[in-house]
Structure formats: C-alpha cells, structure tokens
Amino acid sequence: MELETERLKVIPCTEETVKIAINQKYDNGPQISAYLKRLNEDSSLLYWGPWLVIRKSDGVVLGDIGFKGKPDEDRAVEAGYGFLESYWGNGYATEAMEALIRWAFKTLKVDRIIAETLVDNYGSIRVLQKLGMKKISSTETMIYWEIG
C-alpha cells in the first residue's frame, strides 16, 4: 500500500521499502530502525510507524512521517515527521501529512491525532496549523496539538 499526492509517494516502512532509503544513504535518525525491530515482533504495527516520503519526479527520499504506535484505547494516535533540511520550506511535510491524516481517519480506528513540537520550531508549528491541528496545551518548551 502507498499513499499518493500531487508530488509525493508515501510508503510505509518495511524491511523491503527501507532498502530505497538505504540505497540513497537516507539517515534521518534512529526511529526507522527501532520501528523495524518492533514490527518484526508485532506485525500489527504495520502502518502505525514511519512512512517514507518520496518525490515522484525523481524518486528521492525527502523525509519520513508517521505514527508513534497504534491508536490507544481512546482511539488517538501520535503523529510525527522529519525531513532533510535541504527540503524544508517546500510544503512537502504538509502535503505528506495531510495524506497520512486522511488515511488514518479512513481506517475508522482513529478519532483523534495528536502531535507535539518545540515552542521555537516555527516551521513545524506552521505545518501543524496548515493541517488544521489545534493547540491544546503548552509548557515552557513544548506545544501540544490535536485534530479530530
């Protein structure tokens, strides 16, 4: 399964799909490898972890988006994303996350999607606002968001 937008393909991370990222020497942190270990132990995690964001025009992996686990007992799931800095400011995060949020709600397993960002991460704040997420609380360092 993959999601498609005007400019992007969004594919869930599996041992097979991650080969695309490895071949491009894409490394955006440890979340993908940690998820693959958990996925090997629990196949029901498929789709509830990282997804690769690939530009359709040239097949380049721009970043990864996804969830930090399956929906909880309140039918909420936490979303996150990270893009290589050279691709910031092009609307890719908003475009990819919009597709993933739509997919999550269509599964009928999710009533609410939450996210968090640092108070000074203005780019990420703008992405969450564009996605229609509402600020629900904050601390000195973090802002917490939700949609649903």
Q: Which residues pair with 53 in a beta bridge?
A: 10, 63
Instruction: For residue 110, give both structure tokens.
Output: 């999710």
Q: What is the domain extent for residue 45?
A: 3-147
Under DSSP, is residue 130 helix (H, G, I), strand (E, B) or coil?
Answer: helix
Percentage of the chain lying above the pLDDT 90 cut: 97
CATH code assigned at 98: 3.40.630.30
- Over residues 15-19, the mean pLDDT reads 93
- Over residues 40-44, the mean pLDDT reads 95
- CA-CA distance, 119 to 42, in Å (whole number)? 34
Query: Which among 47, 115, 51, 109 has a CA at the least distance from the CA of 80?
Result: 115
- Over residues 36-51, the mean pLDDT reads 95
Amino acid at 38: R
135, 100 Cβ separation under 8 angstroms: no
Question: Tell me: the pLDDT tens digits for 112-135?
Answer: 999 999 999 999 999 999 999 999
Instruction: For residue 18, give both structure tokens.
Output: 């991650």
Q: How confident is the model at residue 29 (pLDDT cuts 50, 70, 90)?
A: confident
47 or 28, higher pLDDT:
47
Total number of domains constituting the chain: 1
